[in-house]
């Protein structure tokens, strides 16, 4: 799959009269080299699960298209979050701004970086489409896969919008936080890649329903683990500060649970400390203490456990190949028990 | 075509459990109601030119997809230009910000509007894709049209990037300004819509080359007329200030020509006045005086004329239906002789 990506992007940048395109496709190529490839892995596993065996080239190209779509999503996400780093390197809007820094004022350079990153995201989305259409799917495959890809895109964008909409005020609405996880993580990252892979092999409603029964609880569990790592993870292992989420006042299921069961004094403290950009270790310690006193941390651990069990149970009667069931079980354990 | 758009967007917003999607698709529908539909018109004309007659539904849906793609481009363009109005109404990022204004600070509201508009643009691009794939093209038509749509997208984005890259410093490189026009206007607005329409009817390289020979000079002439209207147009007729382009220090062929032939004093004046956000009528008068003294205005008028003639000549031997030739001639005259 990595070969398909590299070939495609090199070709995009090879138009002799457009050095700009070559620069831009090179940026995307570098950016993508740091990805975890979780969606392509699930896409290929979905294909194998329903008996896909021959002619893996097509599924690899579609898997590559999912990874390129994800690159688009991250480029725009970093613009919206005003993030400076991603995967330990500067985000693309920072790189583009730096590339353009000669003889301009700082505001103008900042603005150029943001605008160019919006455009580069758009270009990456267009390229992910081209990659999809170059996969050589037969008309019947195209008819099965295309609606799933469209749904995946709309679901992600809706999830992003819900998330954006909730930002800026703390919520104690646990279901609302889980709804965002469902769209942004469970459907986008797990369910749809499995569906897309399966649809290439040709599948039936029963198998599709089994993927959903596995993916939705697992995706929620994955995101709930992420919340805990953001607050309790070891920065040396996770590679990110365990203060950032608290300083950003991120709406998570963890904070919603804590707010819901907090007494008046605890709630006031949470509302004062969460979202404080200058929060220090001492303040973070107070927040963590409230997460424990309200049993929010314990509840999230139990929710992860329940959901992991539910995902594993969904595999019991699923009409999947034995190899794929083994792989999906490993993925479920890795996604929920990880420490980074 | 408008029916196809309205039906599609209503359907997108009708998912009962997602009031947000309904709100967002409504915004896009309002936004699109003000468009000039020039790309759809050219798409249908391209189809008729090579003998398309039966089954117009498909070409209407593809034409609608081009209009929706253009809505995406404008939404992101307004974010990048930080524009407050479009077609006499607030831009979408302003509308989204206003919708979200309760209990937030002004910076946060601004940021929400921008971020939500980036997302809404992404969603609109995704929808334009869905509309395209719902047009019911046969596999051979799809094979002919899809590469053209991909090229159109990449060309627009490259044009936008070139434009962005040139912003912030005045250039006397006339060819560089014309290169931006080629991508942003000539290819994107004129050539590709004609090609897409023709490809639906089924066409040959000779016809495609004839469309290009018509479209590229016409597109440049169209944009050159736009430059003149931006500086000399009657605001009551054009509906926009004739100071904005000068205040923004927009790089146009007009300014590049003036800078190239200006003497030292004129060049210094141009560099001081163009891009001054507080430029008044008196300063604008000085700039217009230099445009005339350097014959830049006259040269641009001649360039428009040459290009219009070139576009019309390309129709002389073109293998197009007589009706379409008549329509393309009218479009060429309207695009270059307009006063708004």
> Same domain, yes or no, for B100 and B163?
no
| Domain end point (choices A111, A136, A161) | A136
Residues in chain A: 340
> Same domain, yes or no, for A331 and A191?
yes
> Same domain, yes or no, for B128 and B166?
no
pLDDT at A108: 81
- Note whether A14 contacts B: Cβ–Cβ < 8 A: no
| Domain end point (choices B136, B163, B197) | B136
**A-chain residues near B157 (CB < 8 A):** 119, 122-123, 126
Strand B89-90 vs strand B85-86: parallel, antiparallel, or unpaired? antiparallel
**A-chain residues near B160 (CB < 8 A):** 119
> Same domain, yes or no, for B81 and B143?
no
> Same domain, yes or no, for A141 and A17?
no
The count of domains in chain A is 2
> Same domain, yes or no, for B126 and B29?
yes
pLDDT at B2: 79
Return the closest-CA partner of residue A110 out of A128, A122, A97, A121.
Answer: A97
The answer to whether the Cβ–Cβ distance between A119 and B80 falls below 8 Å is yes
Return the closest-CA partner of residue A231 out of A160, A178, A279.
Answer: A279
Q: Which residue has the tokens 């198998």?
A: A207
The residue segments making up the domain with residue A197 are 137-340
What are the tens digits of pLDDT across the range B201-212?
Answer: 998 999 999 999
Helix spans in A82-173 (H):
92-99, 106-133, 139-166
> Same domain, yes or no, for A189 and A114?
no
In a domain, A188, yes or no: yes
> Same domain, yes or no, for B157 and B131?
no
- Note whether B21 contacts A: Cβ–Cβ < 8 A: yes
> Same domain, yes or no, for A77 and A178?
no
Which among A104, A158, A167 has the least Cβ separation from residue B21?
Answer: A158
Q: pTM, whole model, 2 decimals?
A: 0.92
What are the tens digits of pLDDT across the range A176-201?
Answer: 999 999 998 999 999 999 999 999 99
- Note whether B169 contacts A: Cβ–Cβ < 8 A: yes
Suggest the residue from B15, B19, B161, B168 to mutate for an interface test with chain A (most A CBs closer than 10 A): B161
In a domain, B328, yes or no: yes
**A-chain residues near B139 (CB < 8 A):** 139
> Could you tell me if B237 and B338 are in contact, meaning their C-beta atoms sit under 8 angstroms apart?
no
The answer to whether the Cβ–Cβ distance between B157 and A129 falls below 8 Å is no
Mean pLDDT of chain A: 91
> Same domain, yes or no, for B65 and B125?
yes
In a domain, A276, yes or no: yes
Of A94-103, A225-234, B308-317, the one with minimum mean pLDDT is: A94-103
Distance separating alpha carbons of residues B253 and B185, to the nearest angstrom: 14
- Can you state the percent helix, strand and coil of chain B, rounding each to 5? 75, 0, 20
What are the tens digits of pLDDT across the range B43-92?
Answer: 999 999 999 988 899 999 999 999 999 999 999 999 998 888 887 788 99
pLDDT at A326: 97
> Same domain, yes or no, for B243 and B301?
yes
The fraction of chain A above a pLDDT of 90, given in percent, is: 70
Q: Residue range A109-138: average pLDDT?
A: 93
In a domain, A232, yes or no: yes
> Could you tell me if A306 and A224 are in contact, meaning their C-beta atoms sit under 8 angstroms apart?
no
Distance separating alpha carbons of residues A129 and B49, to the nearest angstrom: 29
Our measurement of the distance from residue A29's CA atom to the centroid of its chain's CA atoms, rounded to an integer in Å, reads: 18
In a domain, A224, yes or no: yes
| Domain end point (choices B121, B136, B151) | B136
In a domain, A45, yes or no: no
**B-chain residues near A139 (CB < 8 A):** 139
The answer to whether the Cβ–Cβ distance between A150 and B160 falls below 8 Å is no
Give the domain CATH number at A269.
1.10.600.10
The 3-state secondary structure of B253-313 reads HHHHHHHHHCCHHHHHHHHHHCCCCCCCHHHHHHHHHHHHHCCHHHHHHHHHHHHHHHHHH
Residue ranges of chain B with per-residue pLDDT less than 50: none
All residues at 6 or more sequence positions from A102 whose CB lies less than 8 Å from its CB, including other chains? none
Q: Residue range A37-66: average pLDDT?
A: 94
In a domain, A51, yes or no: no
pLDDT tops 80 at residue A211: yes
> Same domain, yes or no, for B209 and B289?
yes
């Amino acid at each position: 799959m990595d070969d398909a990506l590299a070939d495609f992007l090199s070709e995009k940048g090879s138009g002799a009269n457009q050095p700009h395109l070559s620069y831009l496709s090179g940026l995307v190529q570098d950016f993508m080299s740091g990805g975890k490839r979780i969606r392509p892995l699930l896409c290929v596993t979905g294909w194998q699960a329903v008996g896909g065996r021959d002619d893996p080239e097509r599924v690899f190209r579609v898997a590559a298209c999912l990874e390129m779509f994800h690159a688009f999503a991250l480029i725009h996400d970093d613009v919206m979050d005003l993030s400076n780093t991603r995967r330990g390197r500067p985000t693309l809007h920072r790189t583009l701004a730096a590339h353009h820094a000669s003889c301009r004022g700082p505001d103008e350079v900042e603005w150029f970086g943001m605008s160019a990153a919006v455009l580069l995201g758009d270009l990456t989305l267009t390229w992910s489409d081209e990659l999809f259409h170059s996969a050589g799917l037969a008309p019947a495959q195209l008819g099965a896969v295309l609606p799933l890809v469209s749904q995946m895109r709309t679901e992600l964008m809706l999830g992003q919008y819900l998330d954006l909409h909730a930002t800026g005020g703390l919520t104690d609405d646990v279901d609302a936080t889980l709804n965002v996880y469902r769209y942004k993580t469970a459907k986008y990252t797990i369910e749809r890649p499995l569906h897309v892979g399966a649809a290439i092999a040709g599948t039936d409603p029963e198998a599709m329903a089994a993927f959903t029964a596995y993916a939705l609880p697992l995706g929620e569990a994955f995101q709930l683990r992420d919340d805990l790592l953001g607050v309790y993870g070891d920065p040396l292992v996770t590679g990110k500060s365990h203060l950032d989420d608290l300083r950003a006042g991120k709406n998570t299921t963890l904070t919603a649970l804590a707010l819901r069961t907090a007494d008046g004094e605890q709630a006031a403290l949470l509302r004062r400390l969460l979202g404080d950009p200058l929060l220090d270790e001492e303040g973070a310690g107070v927040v963590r203490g409230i997460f424990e006193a309200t049993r929010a941390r314990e509840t999230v651990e139990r929710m992860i456990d329940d959901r992991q069990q539910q995902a594993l149970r969904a595999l019991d009667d699923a009409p999947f190949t034995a190899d794929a069931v083994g792989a999906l079980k490993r993925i479920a354990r890795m996604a929920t028990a990880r420490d980074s």
